[in-house]
């Protein structure tokens, strides 16, 4: 079966533990199955004193065992049972322990592999996947597989071994009685399998209903300001009541089905028991079997009936585990990006030349359309353009987050595609517009820019990014934890932390992708000034909507629909008919009017 190969993904590297746990199962079940046999022998031959020559199989052993009881006395049954149980217990423990070690190792490895695989995905991966779905695959799907391998698979194997061993023993004692004692078991098994198949659907419906309920709740809670400001409480209550009731009804569906299943299967199971006792009693009355056999069979029936009822459940879990493994495998099917290929040693001065570069996310829709430009080393180049004009994509090409499709980009004369992605990303510092902060403290967030940076280096970078003072004002300063369990930072603070993080690594080229939009313009200016002071003239690329920011650049590029439509210095561009002049007018004209002559 091809599907079974999927389990190899999971078991990789821990096969020995899995085999050991399975071996323990077999031994444990064997010892467990011997006990009723011993009790029956003790009752029939030691206590009742039936003649031993009725025994057909293993008579010599029986005679020996009987002899021991006669010589030493009946108390021997206590140590014998104790020892057998202890051995059984040992294997029971081993099976649990081995299975746990095997599964926990496997799950840890699988989780780590998934994590690394995701980290090494190309940039567009994030745009194309749904976070919630991906996280579900990495967490609950892994748990489903783990749960199955850890307990259900172990259970299923144990049940199967038990059924085989017990059936063998029963058949060797009395075939007809065995038949009577197991006749309802196939019916029970079928009922169980059918039940769990329909159960899976209902479980799914309930899960979905629960998801909807908690989404509704979450939305209401996080949008509470809007709810209040629009006086929509009553509306929200109605909406939530719907979902809440829907979920309640789905849970009740499950329980209705369960009530039907458990009562009918209980009925069948107990009926089978009654048959064992009644048929046994009849057999004993007519001398076909001994009373010991009757007692042993009622134990054995218990070892068959209840586990078989559980077996159907295992089939259901196995189905789920297959589905989960399939979903996990899909993640591994995404190819990863090779970050290390190419030149990995290069002193970067920072001159960048684009020649006829084109790029598009889809084939016939270029986002960068035949662009040629030069970003001189040590100078500041600013880019202005509307949303979707291709500014960010331009930057992405530089870090090889995407590779351009035609033309050429040269960094200090070296073709960009021959330089390793890792080197580029290490030496070019890019500050994103919506930077992500990790849920650790602020110092560690900044330190992500340079592993092992000293505290004073971190603070120095924070000072340059004009965020040191804000951090100091927090109760716990640099030890403030960011994220869900910690402080919520404003957009401007987040951006400045990200800037500090990037500055800490002292990159050769610095790129701000509209990453000063959330700080006010005086802070913006202060940051740029501090930068100039400390780093001298490094190649800087600035994307911004702010004319005041753009105005100071050595070169301004205006982008529109993937092309560069204007370029030059501020003084030149404001005299030129075009987008730049228009935006400059909007940002300043109304105020200049009011300054010149009072309108009111």
Rule CB under 8 A: which of 374-413 touch other proteins? 386-387, 399, 401
Residue 425 touching other proteins (CB under 8 A): yes
What gap in Å lies between CA 311 and CA 205, rounded to an integer? Answer: 23
Q: Cβ closer to other proteins: 345 or 591?
A: 591
Residue 489 touching other proteins (CB under 8 A): no
Total residues in contact with other proteins, by rule CB under 8 A: 169
Q: Of the candidates 27, 52, 55, 236, which one interacts with other proteins according to CB under 8 A?
A: 236
Distances (CA, A) of 331 to 11, 115, 281, 321, 345: 17, 10, 60, 16, 33
- Of 299, 294, 291, 292, nearest in space to 42 by CA: 292
Q: Of the candidates 3, 5, 8, 108, which one interacts with other proteins according to CB under 8 A?
A: 108
Q: To the nearest whole angstrom, how small is the minimum distance from the Cβ of residue 556 to other proteins?
A: 12
Contacting range for other proteins; rule: CB under 8 A; set: 241-249, 305-313, 319-327, 367-375: 241-249
Residue 128 touching other proteins (CB under 8 A): no
**Torsion-angle region of 506 (φ positive above 0: left; ψ -120 to 50: alpha; else: beta):** left
Residue 16 touching other proteins (CB under 8 A): no
Q: To the nearest whole angstrom, how small is the minimum distance from the Cβ of residue 561 to other proteins?
A: 14
Residue 252 touching other proteins (CB under 8 A): yes
Q: To the nearest whole angstrom, how small is the minimum distance from the Cβ of residue 265 to other proteins?
A: 9
Residue 116 touching other proteins (CB under 8 A): yes
Q: To the nearest whole angstrom, how small is the minimum distance from the Cβ of residue 236 to other proteins?
A: 6
Q: Cβ closer to other proteins: 183 or 224?
A: 224
Q: Which two tokens stand for residue 415?
A: 């073709």
Contacting range for other proteins; rule: CB under 8 A; set: 52-60, 212-220, 307-315, 532-540: 212-220
For residue 466, with 0-12 CB atoms within 10 Å meaning exposed, 13-18 middle and 19 or more buried, which class applies? buried
Residue 61 touching other proteins (CB under 8 A): no
What gap in Å lies between CA 447 and CA 436, rounded to an integer? Answer: 14
Q: To the nearest whole angstrom, how small is the minimum distance from the Cβ of residue 163 to other proteins?
A: 20
Q: Cβ closer to other proteins: 31 or 359?
A: 31
Rule CB under 8 A: which of 501-560 touch other proteins? 501-502, 505, 517-518, 520-522, 545, 547-548, 551-552
What gap in Å lies between CA 265 and CA 348, rounded to an integer? Answer: 75
For 13, phi then psi, to 5°, come to 85, -10
Contacting range for other proteins; rule: CB under 8 A; set: 170-178, 270-278, 310-318, 358-366: 270-278
- Of 327, 316, 314, nearest in space to 110 by CA: 327
Q: Cβ closer to other proteins: 264 or 372?
A: 264
Q: To the nearest whole angstrom, how small is the minimum distance from the Cβ of residue 588 to other proteins?
A: 5
Q: Which two tokens stand for residue 469?
A: 């003072």
Residue 225 touching other proteins (CB under 8 A): yes
For 368, phi then psi, to 5°, come to -115, 120
What gap in Å lies between CA 26 and CA 157, rounded to an integer? Answer: 8
Q: Is-contact 557 384, C-beta < 8 A?
A: yes
Contacts of 310 (CB under 8 A, 6+ apart): 155, 159, 192
What gap in Å lies between CA 272 and CA 287, rounded to an integer? Answer: 22
Q: To the nearest whole angstrom, how small is the minimum distance from the Cβ of residue 356 to other proteins?
A: 26
Q: To the nearest whole angstrom, how small is the minimum distance from the Cβ of residue 158 to other proteins?
A: 12
Contacts of 539 (CB under 8 A, 6+ apart): 349, 350, 351, 352, 375, 376, 377, 378, 379, 381, 508, 509, 510
Contacting range for other proteins; rule: CB under 8 A; set: 1-9, 57-65, 188-196, 481-489: 481-489
∠ CA 279-282-287, nearest 5°, is 120
CA atoms within 13 A on the CB side of 185: 21
| 3-state SS assignment for residue 55 | coil
Q: Which two tokens stand for residue 312?
A: 């159907």
Q: Of the candidates 12, 15, 264, 537, which one interacts with other proteins according to CB under 8 A?
A: 264
Rule CB under 8 A: which of 78-107 touch other proteins? 78-82, 84-86, 88-90, 92-93, 95-97, 99-101, 104-105, 107
Q: Is-contact 117 336, C-beta < 8 A?
A: yes
Rule CB under 8 A: which of 152-191 touch other proteins? none
Specify the length of the chain in residues.
Answer: 600
Q: To the nearest whole angstrom, how small is the minimum distance from the Cβ of residue 461 to other proteins?
A: 13
Q: Cβ closer to other proteins: 115 or 332?
A: 115
Residue 245 touching other proteins (CB under 8 A): yes
Contacting range for other proteins; rule: CB under 8 A; set: 55-63, 75-83, 321-329, 456-464: 75-83
Q: To the nearest whole angstrom, how small is the minimum distance from the Cβ of residue 435 to other proteins?
A: 6
Q: Is-contact 155 312, C-beta < 8 A?
A: no
Q: To the nearest whole angstrom, how small is the minimum distance from the Cβ of residue 3 to other proteins?
A: 25
Q: Cβ closer to other proteins: 104 or 412?
A: 104
Q: Cβ closer to other proteins: 56 or 600?
A: 600
Rule CB under 8 A: which of 318-357 touch other proteins? 339
Residue 258 touching other proteins (CB under 8 A): yes
Residue 2 touching other proteins (CB under 8 A): no
Q: Cβ closer to other proteins: 187 or 217?
A: 217
Contacts of 523 (CB under 8 A, 6+ apart): 466, 492, 496, 516
For 323-386, the three-class secondary structure string (H helix, E strand, C coil) is HHHHHHHHHHHCCCCCCCCCECCCCCCCCEEEEEEEECCECCECCEEEEEEEECCCCEEEEEEC
Residue 199 touching other proteins (CB under 8 A): no
Residue 1 touching other proteins (CB under 8 A): no
CA atoms within 13 A on the CB side of 438: 10
DSSP state of 559: E
Q: Is-contact 508 539, C-beta < 8 A?
A: yes
Strand order in the sheet with 406-411: 368-375, 352-359, 406-411, 414-415
Contacting range for other proteins; rule: CB under 8 A; set: 52-60, 262-270, 305-313, 321-329: 262-270
Rule CB under 8 A: which of 271-300 touch other proteins? 271, 273-274, 277-278, 280-282, 284-285, 291, 294-295, 298
Residue 30 touching other proteins (CB under 8 A): no
Residue 77 touching other proteins (CB under 8 A): yes
Contacting range for other proteins; rule: CB under 8 A; set: 52-60, 182-190, 317-325, 443-451: 443-451
Q: Of the candidates 23, 50, 66, 219, which one interacts with other proteins according to CB under 8 A?
A: 219
Neighbours of 537 (CB within 10 A): 12
């Amino acid at each position: 079966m091809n599907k079974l190969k999927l389990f190899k993904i999971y078991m990789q590297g821990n096969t020995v533990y899995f085999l050991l746990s399975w071996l323990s199962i077999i031994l444990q079940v064997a010892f467990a199955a011997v006990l009723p046999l011993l009790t029956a022998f003790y009752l029939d031959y030691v206590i009742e004193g039936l003649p031993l020559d009725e025994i057909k199989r293993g008579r010599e052993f029986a005679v020996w065992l009987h002899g021991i009881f006669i010589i030493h006395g009946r108390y021997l049954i206590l140590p014998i049972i104790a020892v057998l149980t202890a051995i059984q217990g040992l294997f029971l423990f081993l099976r649990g322990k081995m299975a746990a070690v095997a599964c926990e190792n496997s799950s840890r490895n699988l989780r780590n592999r998934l994590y690394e695989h995701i980290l090494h995905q190309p940039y567009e991966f994030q745009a194309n996947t749904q976070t919630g779905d991906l996280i579900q695959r990495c967490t609950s799907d892994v748990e489903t597989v783990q749960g199955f391998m850890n307990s259900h698979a172990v259970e299923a194997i144990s049940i199967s071994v038990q059924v085989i061993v017990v059936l063998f023993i029963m058949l060797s004692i009395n075939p007809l009685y065995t038949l009577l004692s197991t006749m309802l078991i196939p019916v029970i098994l079928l009922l169980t399998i059918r039940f769990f198949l329909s159960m899976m659907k209902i479980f799914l419906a309930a899960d979905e209903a629960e998801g909807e309920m908690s989404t509704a709740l979450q939305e209401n809670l996080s949008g509470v300001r809007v709810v209040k400001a629009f006086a929509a409480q009553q509306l929200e209550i109605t909406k939530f009541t719907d979902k809440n009731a829907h979920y309640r009804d789905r849970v009740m569906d499950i329980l209705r089905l369960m009530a039907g299943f458990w009562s009918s299967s209980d009925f069948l199971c107990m009926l089978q028991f009654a048959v064992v006792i009644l048929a046994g009693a009849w057999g004993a009355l007519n001398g076909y079997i001994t009373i010991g056999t009757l007692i042993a069979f009622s134990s054995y029936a218990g070892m068959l009936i209840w586990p078989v009822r559980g077996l159907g459940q295992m089939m259901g879990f196995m189905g789920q585990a297959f589905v989960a493994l399939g979903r996990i495998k899909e993640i591994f099917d995404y190819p990863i990006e090779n970050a290390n290929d190419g030149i990995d040693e290069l002193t970067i001065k920072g001159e960048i030349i684009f020649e006829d570069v084109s790029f598009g996310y889809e084939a016939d829709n270029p986002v960068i359309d035949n662009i040629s430009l030069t970003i001189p080393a040590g100078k500041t180049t600013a880019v202005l353009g509307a949303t979707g004009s291709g500014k960010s994509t331009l930057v992405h090409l530089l870090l090889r987050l995407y590779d351009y499709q035609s033309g050429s980009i040269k960094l200090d004369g070296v073709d960009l595609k021959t330089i390793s992605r890792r080197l580029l990303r290490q030496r070019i510092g890019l500050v994103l517009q919506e930077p992500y902060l990790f849920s650790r403290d602020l110092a560690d967030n900044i330190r992500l820019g340079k592993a092992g940076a000293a505290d004073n280096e971190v603070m120095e970078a924070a000072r340059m990014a004009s965020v040191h003072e804000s951090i100091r004002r927090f109760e716990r300063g640099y030890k403030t934890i960011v994220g869900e369990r910690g402080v919520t930072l404003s957009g401007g603070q987040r951006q400045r932390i990200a800037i500090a993080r990037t500055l800490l690594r002292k990159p050769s080229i610095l790129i701000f992708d509209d990453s000063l939009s959330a700080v006010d313009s005086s802070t913006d200016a202060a940051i740029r000034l501090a930068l100039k002071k400390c780093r001298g003239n490094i190649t800087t690329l600035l994307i911004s909507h702010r004319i005041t920011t753009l105005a100071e650049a050595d070169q301004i590029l205006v982008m529109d629909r993937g092309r560069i439509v204007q370029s030059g210095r501020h003084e030149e561009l404001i005299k030129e008919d075009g987008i730049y002049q228009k935006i400059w007018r909007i940002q300043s004209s109304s105020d200049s009017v009011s300054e010149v002559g009072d309108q009111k």
